[in-house]
Amino acid sequence: MSRTGTGLDAVGAAAPRPQWSSRLAFILAATGSAVGLGNIWKFPYITGENGGGAFVLVYLACIAVIGLPILAAEVMLGRRGRHSPIRSMAELARVDGASPRWAWVAWMGFVAAFVLLSFYSVVGGWSLAYISHAATGAFTGADADTIGGLFGGLLGSAPTLTLWHSVFMLMVVVIVGAGVNAGMERAINLLMPLLFVLLLLLVGYAVVEGDFTRGVDFLFAADFSKLSTDGVLTALGHAFFTLSTGICVMMAYGSFLPREVNIARTVVTIGVLDTLVALLAGLAIFPLVFANGLEPGAGPGLLFVTLPLAFGQMTGGALFGTLFFFLLLVAAITSAISMIEPVVEWLEDRGVPRKAGALGAGLLIWALGLCTVLSFNHWAGFHPLGFISRFEGKTLFDLFDFLVSNLALPLGGMAIAIYAGWIMKPELLRESLGLGDGLAGSLFRFVLRFLSPAAVLIVFLYNLV
C-alpha cells in the first residue's frame, strides 16, 4: 500500500528501490560515512591545536545538541523522498506546500559532495602512500628531517599523488558501481568491523608502548583557560563535518532506509559510534606522541610527520604504523563512497545505470581531483582569489576545502533544520522521526527551529570574517 497520502512518503513506492537489509546495515553505512579522515586525522590535530580536554567537551556538546538533530532531519527527508536528494527535495517541497526552490539545497549538496570527494580522494591517497612507507620500514629509526622529507616528497610529486588518488577513486567506483546491497553494503559489512578491530589493536599498542596516562589526561582533563572562541567555533564546525551532515549525503543514504526503522534512536547510535572512534583515535595517537617527547599541536602534520616519527622510534613501529595507515584508508573509503552516492542516484533518476553512473561520475571527480594534486606542487603559487584578503595565499585545494567545510556544510545544515522545523507540520515531523507526543518531540522541534539555525549562523558568519 502506498502511504503517499500520509506525507510520510512524498513520492510513493511506484519505482522499486533497493533498501538497506536491516537497521544495523544502515547504522554501519552511516557510521562509515561519518567516521573518516575527520575522526582519525582532523579531530586529533584540532584537539592538539586547541589544548585538549575543554575542546573535547565542547565538541561533544555540539554533536549532541546541534549535529544529531540535523542529522536526524536529513535522514528523515531522504526516507520521505525515496529518490536522489535533488528529486526528493523537489517532491517534498511540492507535497509540503513549500517553494520548489528548496531543491537548491540539494543542488548545493550535490556540487559540494562532488568537490569534497575530489580532494578527499587525494588525501585518502596519502594513506595508501603511507601504508607503503610504513610497511617498507621507511620510518624505522628515521630522524625528523627524513620523515619531513617523506611528506614533502609525496606532496611535491604530482605523478605519485595522482597514482594514489587514482587507486583510491578506482576502489570507490568499484564499490559504488556494484550496487547498494551487493557493493556498498557488502563492503561496509567487511570494512566497519575491520575498522573497529584495527582501532582497538592500536589503542592496545598505545597502552603498552605509549605514555597512556598523559594521553588520557590530554584528551579528558578540561582546562577551559586553554580554549579560545576560535576553538569553540572550530568544534561546532567539525561537528557537521564529522557527522557528514549538511550536503545531502546522509539524505541519499536515508533514501534506502526501511520504513519501520526509528530515526531518532538510530542517529543517536551513529553519533555515539562516531564520537567513540574519534576519542579512540586520540587515545591511539597521543600516548605515542608523548612517549617520544613530541608535540601534540603540530596541526595537519600530526599524522603524517609527528606520528611516523614516533612509530620509527618504537618496537613494533613498522607493523603498527602499517596498521594505523590501513585504518586511515578504511575510514576514508567508507566515507568516500557516501560522497559519490548522491551523484550516482541523480544519474539513476535520469535513467543512467548505476555502473555507468559510478564510472562517469568517478572519472569527472577524479579529473577535478587533479587540481588538488597540482595545488601541492606545480600550482602551489596559484592563488585564484588572492586579490581578496580573506583568501590571500590560498591554493585551489584550500578554496575547495573552504567552499565545502566552511560554506556548504553549515549552510546546508541550516537549511535542512529550517525545512524540518518550520516547513513540516509538527505532527508529521514527530511521526517521521519516530518521536512520540512527549517532551523529546517538542525539544527536538525547538532545537531544529531555533538553536541549530542560530548556531550555524554564528559559525557561518564567523567563517566569513
Least separation in angstroms between residue 455's CB and ligand PFF is 18
b/e map 324-340, b = 16+ CB within 10 Å: bbbbbbbbbbbbbbbbb
Nearer to ligand PFF, 120 or 212 (CB): 120
- Report whether 294 contacts 310 (CB < 8 A): yes
- Report whether 162 contacts 115 (CB < 8 A): no
Site for ligand PFF in 20-39 (CB under 6 A): 33-34, 36-39
Nearer to ligand PFF, 268 or 380 (CB): 268
SS3 for 10? coil
Least separation in angstroms between residue 39's CB and ligand PFF is 5
Q: Does 247 bind ligand PFF (CB under 6 A)?
A: yes
- Report whether 191 contacts 175 (CB < 8 A): no
Least separation in angstroms between residue 408's CB and ligand PFF is 9
- Which residue from 241, 256, 324, 379 is in contact with ligand PFF, where contact means CB under 6 A? 241
SS3 for 96? coil
Amino acid at site 306? T
- What distance in Å separates the CA atoms of residue 255 and residue 77, rounded to the nearest whole number? 8
Q: Which stretch binds ligand PFF (CB under 6 A): 98-106, 155-163, 240-248, 258-266?
A: 240-248
Helix (H) or strand (E) holding 134: helix 103-135
Q: What are residue 13's phi and psi, to 5 degrees?
A: -105, 35
- What distance in Å separates the CA atoms of residue 34 and residue 175, rounded to the nearest whole number? 17
Least separation in angstroms between residue 113's CB and ligand PFF is 6
Least separation in angstroms between residue 242's CB and ligand PFF is 4
- Which residue from 121, 242, 322, 452 is in contact with ligand PFF, where contact means CB under 6 A? 242
SS3 for 255? coil
SS3 for 451? helix
> Whose CA is closest to 149, among 301, 332, 336, 26?
301
Q: What is the DSSP string of 151-172?
A: HHHHHH-HHHHHHHHHHHHHHH
Q: Find the distance separating the first CA and the last CA of the chain, reported in whole Å.
A: 52
Residue 187's Cβ-count burial label (10 Å; 0-12, 13-18, 19+) is buried
Q: Which stretch binds ligand PFF (CB under 6 A): 138-146, 188-196, 241-249, 297-305?
A: 241-249
Least separation in angstroms between residue 372's CB and ligand PFF is 15
Site of grid cell 502506498:
2
Nearer to ligand PFF, 39 or 266 (CB): 39
Nearer to ligand PFF, 28 or 339 (CB): 339
Sign of CA dihedral 337, 342, 347, 349: positive
Nearer to ligand PFF, 50 or 245 (CB): 245
Q: Which stretch binds ligand PFF (CB under 6 A): 180-188, 244-252, 307-315, 344-352?
A: 244-252
Least separation in angstroms between residue 394's CB and ligand PFF is 20
Q: Does 118 bind ligand PFF (CB under 6 A)?
A: no
Least separation in angstroms between residue 17's CB and ligand PFF is 21
CA distances from 62 to 49, 232, 239, 264 (A): 18, 9, 6, 17
Least separation in angstroms between residue 247's CB and ligand PFF is 5
Least separation in angstroms between residue 399's CB and ligand PFF is 17
Least separation in angstroms between residue 301's CB and ligand PFF is 18
Q: Does 305 bind ligand PFF (CB under 6 A)?
A: no
Q: Does 244 bind ligand PFF (CB under 6 A)?
A: yes
Site for ligand PFF in 248-287 (CB under 6 A): 249
Nearer to ligand PFF, 34 or 435 (CB): 34
Q: Does 234 bind ligand PFF (CB under 6 A)?
A: no
* Count of residues interacting with ligand PFF (CB under 6 A): 16
Nearer to ligand PFF, 39 or 234 (CB): 39
Nearer to ligand PFF, 147 or 249 (CB): 249
Least separation in angstroms between residue 38's CB and ligand PFF is 2
Site for ligand PFF in 311-350 (CB under 6 A): 335, 338-339
Side-chain half-sphere CA neighbours of 100 within 13 A: 1
Nearer to ligand PFF, 30 or 314 (CB): 30
> Whose CA is closest to 464, among 387, 407, 408?
407
Amino acid at site 149? G
The contact set with ligand PFF (CB under 6 A) reads: 33-34, 36-39, 113, 116, 241-242, 244, 247, 249, 335, 338-339
